[in-house]
């Protein structure tokens, strides 16, 4: 069966520090991968998605970047965090280009102080 792992679960970082959140998927190959952000009490905003190694598409301009160095690994990064980067970050995967549902990791709660 497929599983998705996301870490760390909680992170407190000072303003201006770098960020690296990692997500890996097991039990499948060539998944579509996604990073979402959820502000407190709000819906999910799609940040990045990837259909293959090295292929990253950004949905919104921001202080963050994403990379996919391996087929089942997706990384969310920042060189210098802003206060506005605080939030709950969710990694997700889906299959193919069709109408597949997405399966989510457990999320990372990021607080920038």
Partner 1 sequence: AQTVTQSQPEMSVQEAETVTLSCTYDTSENNYYLFWYKQPPSRQMILVIRQEAYKQQNATENRFSVNFQKAAKSFSLKISDSQLGDTAMYFCAFPRIGGATNKLIFGTGTLLAVQP
Residues making contact with partner 1 (CB under 8 A)? 32, 34, 38, 41-44, 46, 49, 51, 55, 57, 59, 88, 90, 92, 94, 96-104, 106-107, 109
- CA distance to 67, 73, 99, per residue, from 25 (Å): 14, 7, 19
CA angle 84/89/91 to nearest 5° reads: 150
Instruction: Quote the least distance from Cβ 95 to partner 1, whole Å.
Output: 10
Nearest residue (CB) to partner 1, 19 versus 90: 90
Residues 53, 9: Cα–Cα separation, whole Å: 25
Nearest residue (CB) to partner 1, 16 versus 22: 22
């Amino acid at each position: 069966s497929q599983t998705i792992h996301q870490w760390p679960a909680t992170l407190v970082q000072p303003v201006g520090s770098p960020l690296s959140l990692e997500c890996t998927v097991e039990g499948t190959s060539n998944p579509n991968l996604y990073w979402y952000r959820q502000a407190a009490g709000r819906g999910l905003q799609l940040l990045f998605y990837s259909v293959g190694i090295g292929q990253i598409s950004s949905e919104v301009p921001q202080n963050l970047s994403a990379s996919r160095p391996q087929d089942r690994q997706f990384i969310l990064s920042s060189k210098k965090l802003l206060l506005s980067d605080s939030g709950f970050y969710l990694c997700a995967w889906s299959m193919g280009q069709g109408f597949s549902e997405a399966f989510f990791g457990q999320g990372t709660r990021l607080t920038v102080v």
